[in-house]
Amino acid sequence: MRPLLLDTCAVLKLANGEFGKFSRSAMKAMREADILYVSPISEWEISLKWKQGGIELPLEPRALMHKLMNAYSLSLVPLSEEVMFKATELPDIHRDPADRFIIATAMLGNMVVVTTDHRFPQYGVSVVS
């Protein structure tokens, strides 16, 4: 199986223990994946939303991410210069900058994204929702 990249919403579901919100296919893919990746952009997005009061978390973002990384053996995928340029070159199907970075990361790393966002596949990115 190709590497899996969790989008920010998937990371938040893990953080909140909302396993029932994942589809059976997503749960199966995550269980069978050799490595589950998270983009540093998701860490940034979660921290920003928490700071602005847009989301509640069981811990402050840094501690939460460290806990999740250990509990689920998550790995950070590098945020490279190539990812940054690719994110800006994408068509304007999706305007959320964080999602554009995740899409670019998936494209360049030949990854499958765990997401329920219906716009991701419009970029030719494989998803499991």
- Domain ranges, residue 75: 4-128
Q: What is the mean pLDDT of residues 73-98?
A: 96
Tell me the per-residue pLDDT of 87-106, one tens digit each, with 9 for 90 and over. Answer: 999 999 988 999 999 999 99
Task: Tell me what pLDDT residue 55 has.
Answer: 95
Q: CATH number for the domain including 112?
A: 3.40.50.1010
Give this prediction's pTM: 0.95
Number of domains in the chain: 1
Helices (H), 38-96: 40-51, 61-71, 81-89
Q: How many CB atoms lie within 10 A of CB 94?
A: 18
pLDDT tens track for 16-29: 999 999 999 999 99
Residue with tokens 């053996």: 73
Q: Of all residues in the chain, what percent carry a pLDDT higher than 90?
A: 95
Please state, rounded to an integer, the average pLDDT across all residues of the chain. 96
Percent of the chain with pLDDT over 70: 100
